[in-house]
Structure 1
């Protein structure tokens, strides 16, 4: 192998080794930490590389915390980074809380960050309260008039309850429930329109922020509109239902009357059939009586004359039509 090729390989290997050394031994970062007053060992930075922890993030965060007067160690920052936390955001939140005189420890900040909440945003909400606008809330007063209200809830983050505390959705739901209860307990919708602050006072007294990550500072009714006359609508629907029931009962009675009339007609037809059947038996009875000698021919004619006379008398009285045939004794 030519000597020039060997020299090129050695130079190339030296360059690779130099950059590898700088990667695992960040001398510049160590010098920056020393001049910033942060005690970080050079081998400690090497071990960070081996543990796959970015030394720059840890050192810069530690420098920022030290300049702000916070006493932290690289071990604490490394532990939080390896746990999946956002180290720069935690340091930023700790500095903001310290300047605002808010009690926030490193353990609390890391717990909030690992819980998935933005710890810096939480500190901002503690300093600058947040306004939550509720959707339109519909409720009905005792007089049956519907009111549609919109509320503005001013909240402040409660650092001590950020871990495990309920979020904004719970605040909105509880405020909506309180508004519905307050309007529903009012005797008249006019009273609510005249004194909307009554709703705010009643809702605030319920302690709606219990178990949440926020502290409610105020509840303001931004707007109230009149909706439907629910009471009148319900009365109309009730009257329509009563009318349907009355019509059904009347139809039932009519059907029963028709059935009863048909039954009576059937009985009358049955009775007439029995009468006709009985009348048909009369000639047979007379014939049998004549044959056996129980009555004579003169008796038969006498009965025919009596019947003709009876029909004539009834015809004169207007009860029956005049007889068609008759006999003389």
Structure 2
């Protein structure tokens, strides 16, 4: 029985030792410390434990430090750890410093860290400084003085400017400035054929404007990739202007017609009003003795005879024509 209890005690002690050792190894990166010593990087085991306590992943600091040390760069663990705690990408900054050193580009750790913290890809910027990048503009619509539209596409070769990478304008601004320069250059041409004959004038004029001022890039060249003839904007504008003038003239003519109709109706109203005064005048003349009864009957007979002749003359006319004549004839109010 005692033998069994001793065996159980030994097993428990062994489990506890293994657990404590595994916890120690997981908290203390002993393997990483040995790798640093083998690479010639001086870092104490207590410094690695302090990284754990500061919630810094030691491998994110030590492995880039080993690369920098092997590349012969003067970078220490405190700088890398501070950049890591600030939210930067330590590995990418280290790679950018090594690439800049190999390309003989003057780039310090503080500058690279600032570029990385600004949200720029510092490694891509170093690569672009060595190998310039070509960005292509979309079709830029520009109209020459003769009214012909040209669709111009340009290729812009840019190189990253590390000194202006923090706070400098990006590719979108470069493309916008190039497009503006193309529109200005084509718009100043007297005819679109001049641009088609010498497209290099566009690149020369645009390049001379210094469009890379205040940007994170340096424009090396602007090459015109394609020039297509588009619409006849001048003819379209003239057509639209003529259509607008036509509508204005029609509106003015309609206004004059409406005024004429109103004037005609006003004159007819005056005629009707004047005819309404005729019976009153005749009645007054009869009372005053200025018009005799026989004169009145003679006038009525003449009017009746006139109506009869009018009826005979209208016997062969269409009804609509007769109705129109009646509508236009002043009414007899007597």
How far apart, CA to CA, are the structure 2 residues paired with 1:83 and 1:124? 24
- How far residue 272 of structure 1 moved from its aligned partner, in angstroms, is 2.5
Aligned CA-pair RMSD: 2.2
1:157 to partner: Cα distance:
0.8
2:125 is matched with 122
What is the rounded CA distance, in whole Å, between the counterparts of 1:154 and 1:34 in structure 2?
Answer: 46
Partner residue of 1:86? 89
- Which sections of structure 1, spanning at least 5 residues, go unmatched? 290-299, 312-329
How far apart, in 1, do the equivalents of 2:156 and 2:66 lie?
Answer: 39
> Which of 268, 271, 281 pairs up with 1:268?
271
Consecutive unaligned residues of structure 2, counting only runs of 5 or more, are 303-334
Q: Can you list the C-alpha shifts for 1:229-287, whole angstroms capped at 9, x where unaligned?
A: 11000111111111111111111111211221222222222222223321222111119
Distance 1:48 1:116 in 2: 25
Structure with the greater alpha carbon radius of gyration? 1
3-state SS in 1 of match to 2:289:
helix
Q: Which residue does the alignment assign to 1:132?
A: 135
After the TM superposition, which of the residue ranges 150-159 and 202-211 deviates more from structure 2?
Answer: 202-211
| Count of residue pairs the alignment pairs up | 295
**Post-superposition, which runs of at least 4 consecutive aligned residues in structure 1 deviate over 6 A?**
none
Shift of 1:36: 1.8
Instruction: Look up the match of 1:155.
Output: 158
Residue 221 of structure 2 corresponds to residue 182 of structure 1: no
> Hey, what does 2:10 align to over in structure 1?
7
Counterpart among 43, 66, 71 of residue 68 in structure 1: 71
What secondary structure is seen at the aligned counterpart in 1 of 2:227? strand
Q: Distance in 2 between matches of 1:235 and 1:179?
A: 25
What's the counterpart of residue 292 of structure 1? Answer: none
Give the Cα–Cα distance (whole angstroms) in 2 for the partners of residues 47 and 40 of structure 1. Answer: 11
Q: What's the offset of the Cα at 1:203?
A: 1.2
Give per-residue Cα distances to partners, 1:156-202, cap 9 Å, x unaligned. 11111111112111111111111111111111111111111111111
Name the structure 2 match of 1:99.
102
* Pair 254,26 (structure 1): closer, same or farther in 2 beyond 3 Å: closer
Distance 1:82 1:254 in 2: 84
Q: Distance in 1 between matches of 2:269 and 2:249?
A: 30
- The change in CA–CA distance for 1:265 and 1:26 in structure 2 (over 3 A counts) is closer
| Residue-by-residue CA offset, 1:200-242 (whole Å, 9 max, x unaligned) | 1111122211221111111111111111111000111111111
Residue by residue over 1:98-151, the C-alpha shift from the partner in whole angstroms, topping out at 9 and shown as x without a partner, is 111111110011111111211101101111111111111111111111111111
Q: What SS class does the counterpart of residue 275 from structure 1 fall into?
A: helix
